[in-house]
Amino acid sequence: METISESRCYGGVQGVYKHASDATGTDMTFGLFLPEEAEHAPVPVLWFLAGLTCTHENAMVKAGAQVWAAEHGIALAFPDTSPRGEGVANDDAYDMGQGAGFYVNATQKPWAPHFNMFDYVTSELPKIITNNFAVDEERQSITGHSMGGHGALTLAMNVPQYRSVSAFSPICNPTAGDWGRPQFTNYLGSDETTWERHDATLMMRNVGLDIPLLVDTGANDQYADYLMTENLWAAVAERRKAATLRLQPGYDHSYFFVSSFLEDHVAFHAEALYA
């Protein structure tokens, strides 16, 4: 693993690291914030999955999460949103290919060899982080924005390793919309049954979720038609799931919205991580 940078931040350290990934078959870059407490003992970690067009850097520099993570003694992990590089498949569209991995393991050509973000985020990167830093494997929670909100919700519904899940303006029902259908067709193929486990609304309806759930979406989100927030809320209600689902008046899809409510999300996760 290569250290790209390490900077003192709210008494802890904001680092950026690069490593060779088995899951993606490429080099991958990630950000990791460690609070001061990590100097003495392993700390819990909150994963932050970013959205379309993002790298590991967007949430790391724009969400303002470190101040709240430092307050609660929680590490923050910022993975990239896809494999990258010259030998990696791509597409001219901003919402397909590099920067748009959708947190699935692609089964179709030309994506299949590298686009394995589900395995990378749920399995490989947690091991790398817990083996190399003072981070407690037993205490992980997950959040994300937009495509990363979709990732946070669906990963939490597929693997049992998270104590709580939250999302900012998540893509809630990707199998029904344009942020989902084209990408799942490309990455997973035309058999839509293989898409279901990557759709938070369908998973909520069919499988449910046992951990605490918090979702915030801007009432003025310019991508509301892609997100289909109402479908997830209906599924939560059908399931009688205890959850906090909020529409924030006046807010749009940007990181100004994310940063405005990040304090609440970190506090929500801290309650689960320190229970």
Say which residues have a Cβ less than 8 Å from residue 115's Cβ, sequence separation at least 6: 24, 82, 83, 89, 101, 104, 105, 106, 187
Residue nearest to ligand GSH (CB): 51
* Closest residue by Cα to residue 263 from 76, 75, 69: 69
Given 146, 164, 166, 169, which residue is catalytic?
146
Choices 19-27, 33-41, 45-53, 203-211 (CB under 6 A): range interacting with ligand GSH: 45-53
Position among 18, 19, 62, 197 found at the interface with ligand GSH (CB under 6 A): 62
Q: How far is the CB of 226 from ligand GSH (least distance, A)?
A: 9
Say which of 56, 145, 198, 253 is annotated catalytic: 253
Which is closer to ligand GSH, CB of 123 or CB of 254? 254
In this chain, which stretch among 101-109, 128-136, 140-148, 244-252 interacts with ligand GSH, using CB under 6 A?
140-148
Q: Please report how close the Cβ of residue 42 comes to ligand GSH at its closest, in angstroms.
A: 30
199 carries an active-site annotation? no
Stretch that binds ligand GSH, among 29-37, 46-54, 109-117, 207-215 (CB under 6 A): 46-54
φ, ψ of residue 102 to 5 degrees: the values are 60, 10
Residue 38 in contact with ligand GSH, rule: CB under 6 A:
no
- Does residue 146 carry a catalytic annotation? yes
Q: Give the one residue of 55, 58, 173, 229 binding ligand GSH; rule: CB under 6 A.
A: 58
Interface residue with ligand GSH among 146, 154, 183, 201 (CB under 6 A) is 146
CA distances from 39 to 34, 36, 203, 267 (A): 9, 6, 39, 22
Cβ proximity to ligand GSH: between 37 and 199 the closer is 199
Total Cβ atoms within 10 A of residue 132: 12
Active site annotation includes 123 = no
Q: Are 14 and 40 in contact (CB under 8 A)?
A: no
CA distance 82 to 105: 11
What one-character DSSP code corresponds to residue 204?
A: H
Q: Does 52 bind ligand GSH (CB under 6 A)?
A: yes
Nearest to 221 by CA among 157, 275, 170, 274: 170
Minimal distance, residue 249 CB to ligand GSH, in Å: 20
Among candidate residues 141, 145, 221, 265, the one labeled active-site is 221
Order of all β-strands in the sheet with 2-9: 2-9, 12-20, 27-34, 75-78, 43-49, 135-144, 162-168, 213-218, 244-248
Q: Which stretch binds ligand GSH (CB under 6 A): 12-20, 37-45, 47-55, 210-218?
A: 47-55
Is residue 54 involved in binding ligand GSH (CB under 6 A)?
yes
* Candidate residues 65, 89, 128, 147; the one interacting with ligand GSH per rule CB under 6 A: 147
Instruction: Find the DSSP H helices in the chain.
Output: 57-62, 66-72, 117-119, 125-132, 147-158, 181-188, 200-206, 224-227, 229-239, 255-273
Q: Where in the sequence numbering do the catalytic residues fall?
A: 146, 221, 253
Binding residues for ligand GSH, per CB under 6 A?
A: 51-54, 58, 62, 94, 145-147, 253-255
